[in-house]
Structure 1
Amino acid sequence: MRLRLHRFRLSKAVPLAISRGTTSVVEHLLVDLEHEGLIGRGETGGFETGHRAYCTDAIAAELEALAPQLEPLGPQPLQALEPLLASLSPPARCGLDLALHDWWGQRLGQPLHRLWGLDPAACVATSLTLGLGEPSAVLARLERWRLQLPATRIKLKLGSPDGLSHDRALVQAVRGALRPGDELQIDANGGWDLEGARQMIPWLADQGVVLVEQPLPPLLDPAADAAGFAALQGLAPTPVVADESCWDLRDVVRLAPHVDGINIKLVKCGGLSEGLLMAHTARRLGLGVMLGCYSDGGLLNSAAAQLLPLVQWPDLDSHLNLIDDPCAGPERAGDLLRPAARPGLGVQWLQEVP
């Protein structure tokens, strides 16, 4: 196998502000894996969660160091490559894992979801994100989304540095702008302390919010992290979903007694191999599955879309807010995303990456 990396920028049409800061431009890596004349491609990049952080330069260095070990090997069987993949950080593993899956699907001439036996008819609408800001700016962002697609499921970022009163004002403003049948989700991105979360969750339930994501900051100590979610149980019927606290299958099992759902992100969990395992396990344990993204481009979200038939709460909107994405992203009808029927990851290229 021959591994090549290409860097490219992804620029947001509207910068996204969350409790940890604002993002407008990121640099990502295109991972090319060539074998026997066929090229599989993956995407990855740096991100941070408040308690862990990865930079794109370090991810590239990991993959470049691994490249010589890949040269005498083939993409299949994937099981034989697991020791090499396990040595990588989650985002580095994601880029290579996606390229391997893309190569495999192309070699077999089938999209991954079909090889896994998943049904695209089970897909549901994605949520669209409203970042932190003044109520007028947040409502203007909602209207901009509505010019682009139906926007029936709204995810509002909370955890404002201006405190709970600002969070409540945002909820009330957005709630007043919702149309009949629209759904409001809340993502605090770990922006509340325990007392704040205990105040907000029942209040949000009274406002008709359908879920609350990552109310507390994620902790490196697994037991302490789980204890925080345990302390929020029974406050309201609104589902609580773990995102920054849930990285892999071990976290799904660890958090299952204390949460109602988990958010899978491919760069966080290490790619489709782990993501598929997490989704099936979470469903078997009675948890709802969210499928999320960071500032991900169309290739990453096309890869994630292969899992959409297993997902209750899709949140794959990042590529819809990009002005220079080289990929088209998943197939879309309104705000309903589906995995493409093209082989492998199903990626549709709009332009070449230099």
Structure 2
Amino acid sequence: MKLNFTIKQLRLKETFSIAYGNYDKREALLVELFHQGNKGYGECIAIDYYQINLPNFASTLKEIQSRIEVHPIIHPKEFFQFLVSLNLHPFLLSALDCAYWDLFGKLENKSFIELNNIPHENLVESSITVSVDDIEKQILKIEKSKWNRFKVKCKGLNKDNVEKLLQLNRNIALDSNASFTNEDCIWLQENIEVQKFSYLEQPRPIDQYSILKKEGFANWMADEDCQDMDSLEELIPYYKSINIKLMKCGGLTPALEMIRKGRELGYKIMIGCMTESSVGISAGCVLTGLADYSDLDGANLISNDYATGNFVENGKIMLSGKPGLGIQLK
């Protein structure tokens, strides 16, 4: 098995504005595993508020390259245990885990969905993100869009804007990226109209969720607060839903376990993404048969997608049915 990797730049179609800042581009680390004429792909993205440094990741891959390349082909869940022994950052772990699942499926001529017996009919539609902006511009984007589900970004709480969004009678979620105050959260979870939002994501900064009440009207969804399996039980009194992103938890293998455990604990599950190419989105798409929500618009937001595979068209999850994750580079 051979390992190749390169850093690429993703250009956004328009400035992406969230509470953490404004972005026109993202950097991606593309990982390729090659064996017997087949190539498996994975990627991770440089996200500043996660303090991700891709050159450091590339240096790590150079250090462990020989150990990966001499490893025999085994089942991905067993290979994941080997990867865990390397003490990798979850983002890099995810890129390697997804690349190996893609390679293994291509070698076996079976899709990830076949290998894991995942439902693949009547998949929940993905939302598309509406960046922070004047409320009139956000509403205009929603009204002009061919998508049916929307995640509206906000920086702090504007009650008038909340009322305007609710009056649209559309499938809308709010994502404040941790910019709501305790007072904002109290108002939201005590306001019966707020239950019309499909969910309200990551209202407070990490670990500052004690004000949240699961029994309130707001469907609070944990994003940054929900990093891995260890956080699930602690969040039960506060959150109804969790956003599982492959890069946060370390890839497809741990995501499957998080979904299983999340279901046992009564959470609603979302498969989410960051700004990613079709390499990352293809991996997220294969899990949507296990989810209540999906937010996999990342590749739709960039102008230079360098891969094909599973994709999202006007919110509809389109599975290729090809072996592995179905990823090919353009």
Contact 2:244 / 2:271 at 8 angstroms: preserved in 1? yes
For 1:221, the equivalent position in structure 2 comes to none
Query: Any idea what SS the aligned residue of 1:8 has?
Result: strand
For 1:290, the equivalent position in structure 2 comes to 270
Equivalent residue runs for 1:131-170 within 5 Å: 131-143=131-143, 146=145, 149=146, 151-160=147-156, 164=157, 167-170=158-161
Alignment partners' CA distance in 2, 1:289 and 1:207: 17
Alignment partners' CA distance in 2, 1:98 and 1:249: 18
1:59/1:322 Cα in 2 relative to 1: closer, same or farther (>3 Å)? same
Query: Any idea what SS the aligned residue of 1:258 has?
Result: coil
For 1:327, the equivalent position in structure 2 comes to 307
Contact 2:155 / 2:176 at 8 angstroms: preserved in 1? yes
- Listed as ranges, the gaps of 5+ residues in structure 2 are none
For 1:114, the equivalent position in structure 2 comes to 114
Q: Are positions 1:253 and 2:233 aligned together?
A: yes
Contact 1:94 / 1:270 at 8 angstroms: preserved in 2? yes
For 1:100, the equivalent position in structure 2 comes to 100
1:304/1:122 Cα in 2 relative to 1: closer, same or farther (>3 Å)? same
TM-score (norm 2): 0.92
Q: How much does 1:17 deviate?
A: 1.0
1:201/1:329 Cα in 2 relative to 1: closer, same or farther (>3 Å)? farther
Alignment partners' CA distance in 2, 1:307 and 1:41: 17
Paired residues, what number?
A: 328
Q: Aligned letter for 1:216? A: R
1:152/1:204 Cα in 2 relative to 1: closer, same or farther (>3 Å)? farther
For 2:283, the equivalent position in structure 1 comes to 303
Contact 1:44 / 1:92 at 8 angstroms: preserved in 2? yes
Q: How much does 1:90 deviate?
A: 0.8
Query: Any idea what SS the aligned residue of 1:278 has?
Result: helix
For 1:85, the equivalent position in structure 2 comes to 84
Of the structure 1 ranges 92-101 and 27-36, higher mean CA displacement relative to structure 2 is found in: 27-36
Q: How much does 1:279 deviate?
A: 1.1
Alignment partners' CA distance in 2, 1:309 and 1:193: 34
1:81/1:287 Cα in 2 relative to 1: closer, same or farther (>3 Å)? closer
Pairwise CA RMSD of aligned residues? 2.1
Q: Aligned letter for 1:84? A: L
Contact 1:198 / 1:235 at 8 angstroms: preserved in 2? no
Q: Aligned letter for 2:293? A: W
Alignment partners' CA distance in 2, 1:233 and 1:261: 12
Q: How much does 1:198 deviate?
A: 1.5
Equivalent residue runs for 1:327-346 within 5 Å: 327-328=307-308, 330-332=310-312, 334-346=314-326
Contact 1:46 / 1:91 at 8 angstroms: preserved in 2? no
For 2:185, the equivalent position in structure 1 comes to 197
Superposition misfits of 4+ residues, deviation over 6 angstroms? none
Question: Among the aligned pairs, what percent are the same residue?
Answer: 26
Query: Any idea what SS the aligned residue of 1:54 has?
Result: coil
Contact 2:244 / 2:255 at 8 angstroms: preserved in 1? yes
Alignment partners' CA distance in 2, 1:28 and 1:123: 27
Q: Deviations over 1:252-310 (max 9, x none)?
A: 23323431111011111111011111112111221100111111111101111110001
1:302/1:25 Cα in 2 relative to 1: closer, same or farther (>3 Å)? same
Q: Aligned letter for 2:15? A: P
Alignment partners' CA distance in 1, 2:162 and 2:183: 19
Q: Deviations over 1:300-326 (max 9, x none)?
A: 011111100011110001111111001
Contact 2:80 / 2:253 at 8 angstroms: preserved in 1? no
Contact 1:120 / 1:338 at 8 angstroms: preserved in 2? no
1:29/1:342 Cα in 2 relative to 1: closer, same or farther (>3 Å)? same
Alignment partners' CA distance in 2, 1:119 and 1:41: 23
For 2:175, the equivalent position in structure 1 comes to 187
1:206/1:249 Cα in 2 relative to 1: closer, same or farther (>3 Å)? closer
For 2:22, the equivalent position in structure 1 comes to 22
For 2:55, the equivalent position in structure 1 comes to 57
Contact 2:91 / 2:248 at 8 angstroms: preserved in 1? yes
Alignment partners' CA distance in 1, 2:293 and 2:64: 35
Of the structure 1 ranges 246-255 and 202-211, higher mean CA displacement relative to structure 2 is found in: 202-211
Contact 2:270 / 2:295 at 8 angstroms: preserved in 1? yes
Query: Any idea what SS the aligned residue of 2:238 has?
Result: coil
1:306/1:60 Cα in 2 relative to 1: closer, same or farther (>3 Å)? same
Q: Aligned letter for 1:70? A: I
Query: Any idea what SS the aligned residue of 1:93 has?
Result: helix
TM-score (norm 1): 0.86
- Listed as ranges, the gaps of 5+ residues in structure 1 are 219-224
From 52, 70, 73, the counterpart of 2:71: 73
1:240/1:115 Cα in 2 relative to 1: closer, same or farther (>3 Å)? same
Q: How much does 1:204 deviate?
A: 7.4
Contact 1:5 / 1:31 at 8 angstroms: preserved in 2? yes
Q: Aligned letter for 2:83? A: L
